[in-house]
Amino acid sequence: MPEKPIRKVRRGTVEPNLVDYDAACRDFSWDQARARLQGLPDGRGLNIGHEAVDAPASRHPGKVALCFVGKDRAELTYDDLRRLTNRFANVLEHLGVRRGERVATLLGRVPDLYVTVLGALKARAVYSPLFSAFGPEPVRQRLALGDVRVLVTTPSFYKRKVAPVRDDLPNLEHVLLIGAAAPAIVGTQPLAPLMGSASDDYTIGPTDPDDPALLHFTSGTTGAPKGAVHVHGAVVSHHVTGLYALDLHPDDVFWCTADPGWVTGTSYGIISPLTHGVTCVVDEGEFDAERWYATLESEAVTVWYTAPTAIRMLMKAGPALPREHDLSKLRFVASVGEPLHAEGVRWGCDVLGLPIHDNWWQTETGGIMIANFASSDIYPGSMGRPLPGIIAAVARRDDEGNVITNDGVPEFAGDDERGELVLRRGWPSMFRGYLGMDDRYEACFTGDWYRTGDVVRRDANGWFWFLGRGDDVIKSAGHLIGPFEVESTLMAHPAVLEAGVIGKPDPVAGEVVKAFVTVRAGVDPSDDLALELIGFARSRLGAAVAPREIEFDDHLPKTKSGKILRRLLKARELGLPEGDLSTLEVSH
């Protein structure tokens, strides 16, 4: 365990939003958080589209809301966004789309995507993003599961990814193609003329905070993706987590690198920052280390929210590139999606001059739950502490992985004891169901507590440490081993770039730890290196936890969102079928 925290580093003159963590937790109430938002006029309720667009547009219409930095640089002000989203809401009404019906996008990071999301929310339709790198089968699966009625996409995506499966989607009534001159394709209509004849004015109808608003599919890291339903009231969580965990201030230039095809790209790439009225940078291109550093510099990004997979790629690109850029405007950097190894936090200090603040949440929680804050010290490798308003605990599990309960209440673990992360229900962005899987939803709760499926420990000071997903945890000779702690240790060795750790069945120990390791460029993956790594891990973790076996692998299997797929490593190890890869869309 790292003993020495990284002391907070303050850059610039702004005070962190969360100065006194304990006081904020003590004084917090969701009603007060709700009161920070405008609400629909005349007490007509709470609507995400209003809070993300109309409310900030009423305060500063001419301010840039979205700045697209792709080939064709474009800017949309808050007032542009207000008018365009009103038009799109009118288009949906014109098409007869009713409250609660589903509207999806299959788009890259283009302006139409943002207009569709926010316009659909204003129209009280339920919005569902589809990741644009999906092939036809994952697209079909999600459009069918979500019973989607309207899809907004490009002519090229339509031809390649939707047309081949369109016959299996009888309820997909309208396909709207973006582009100035969308070609005539049977079964579709161009969006531009519909937008052109729609009015700039739109009055959002009464919206109950419990009305469904978003349908997000999970990443599918542990199995088939699940469709999590979120409500309009979630915007309270989006807003307040942007305040506390991302430390958003009105003058910030914010860049969230997550693709809007996933929950992070919607909650924090769109909704949260817009409710704060900040300027959001949108990079339309794929990852490119050189361009990313250039974007941080040229757009004068102040707050950056990215992911461990991106940080690993930047680490791989080497330290010379960032030195060519002036990154001094950057004030706060955070990361989510996978464990952020201590190495990543330190890399931030070395290369950006700022530590990276890891935070934890999942599709089901709708917003950040546990975070490292701008005003707190950082213990590298820890995901931080619960946000004000969030009550998190560690529940004991039995050998089968079930939470142990007494009278329906989970039995809580002591300090540093490993168990399942549970959250007390009641935060506004908590999911309200898995589409078509009621039993599965019910099974997520033990009394008042939501089971996250992740195994963690909490130290005596209240910091949470991620150990692994419940399904990935290794049981070896009576020990419960989190793959993450082994991976982090291996990554501290200078030869190692990435590692994926699994339990390999063993007649004596039950399971033994096996690591798949990608070495850094120029390093020879020799038997001697494998022995050295085992020794290195033993000296830090002890023989019971260190890997017994190391296999070098230059292409660890990952989900499209960049997460290491341990279950696939395990399936390979056991010679089992790897599952339906066509729906998983693994990237290598």
Of 347, 82, 120, give the one whose Cα is nearest residue 213.
Answer: 120
Residues linked to residue 279 through DSSP beta bridges, in sequence order: 253
Q: Give DSSP secondary structure letters for 73-108.
A: -EEEEHHHHHHHHHHHHHHHHHTTPPTT-EEEEE--
Are residues 152 and 107 in contact, defined by beta-carbon separation less than 8 angstroms?
Answer: yes
Q: Round to whole Å and give the CA distance between 430 and 233.
A: 10
Determine the 3-state secondary structure of 335 from DSSP: strand
Taking CB under 6 A as the criterion, the residue among 272, 309, 363, 382 binding ligand ATP is 363
Pick what 279 binds: Mg ion, ligand ATP, none; C-beta below 5 to 8 Å, kind-dependent: none
> In the bound complex, which residue of the shown chain has the CB atom lying closest to Mg ion?
218
The Cα–Cα gap between 355 and 378 comes to 8
Selection from ligand ATP, Mg ion, none that 382 binds (CB < 5 to 8 A by kind) is none
Residue 358 binds ligand ATP (CB under 6 A): yes
Instruction: Kindly state the smallest distance separating residue 31's Cβ from ligand ATP, in Å.
Output: 28
Least separation in angstroms between CB 576 and Mg ion: 21
- Of 343, 454, 498, 553, the one binding ligand ATP by CB under 6 A: 454
Min dist CB 374 to ligand ATP, Å, is: 16
For residue 211, how far is the Cα from the chain centroid? 23
- The single residue among 38, 189, 222, 583 that binds ligand ATP, judged by CB under 6 A, is 222
Residue 336 binds: one of ligand ATP, Mg ion, none (C-beta under 5 to 8 A by kind):
ligand ATP
Given 360, 373, 427, 441, the residue binding ligand ATP (CB under 6 A): 360
Least distance between Mg ion and beta carbon 463 (Å)? 22
Binding of ligand ATP by 458 (CB under 6 A)? no
**Residue 382 in the binding site for ligand ATP (CB under 6 A):** no
Residues 299, 281: contact at Cβ < 8 Å? yes
* 372 lies in the binding site for ligand ATP (CB under 6 A): no
Helix/strand/coil (H, E, C) string of 136-181?
A: HHHHHHHHHHCCEEEEEECHHHHHHHHHHHHHHCCCCCEEEECCCC
The residue (of 434 and 536) whose beta carbon lies closer to ligand ATP is 434
Out of 336, 512, 515, 550, name the contact with ligand ATP by CB under 6 A: 336
Position among 109, 469, 558, 570 found at the interface with ligand ATP (CB under 6 A)? 469
456: amino acid identity, one letter: V
Report the residue from 90, 105, 128, 221 that binds ligand ATP according to the rule CB under 6 A: 221
Residue 186: both structure tokens together? 């049977």
User: Does the protein bind ligand ATP through residue 362 (CB under 6 A)?
Assistant: yes
Q: In this chain, which of 337, 355, 380, 500 binds ligand ATP, going by CB under 6 A?
A: 337
Residue closer to Mg ion, measured from CB, 160 or 440: 440
Measured distance CA(264)–CA(478) in Å, rounded: 37
Binding mask 511-550 for ligand ATP (x = CB under 6 A): ----------------------------------------
Residue position matching structure tokens 């009278």: 407
Phi, psi of 430 (to 5 degrees): -65, 140
Q: How far is the CB of 280 from ligand ATP (least distance, A)?
A: 21
Q: At what angle do helices 111-122 and 78-94 cross, to 10 degrees?
A: 60
Residue 215 — φ and ψ, nearest 5°? Answer: -125, 115
Nearest to 395 by CA among 330, 455, 345: 455
By CB under 6 A, is residue 218 in contact with ligand ATP? yes
Strands 303-306, 279-282: parallel, antiparallel or unpaired by DSSP?
A: unpaired
Which residue, 221 or 476, has its beta carbon nearer to ligand ATP?
A: 221
In the complex, the residues that contact Mg ion under the rule CB under 5 A are: 218
In the complex, the residues that contact ligand ATP under the rule CB under 6 A are: 218-223, 225-226, 336-340, 358-360, 362-363, 383, 452, 454, 466, 469, 563
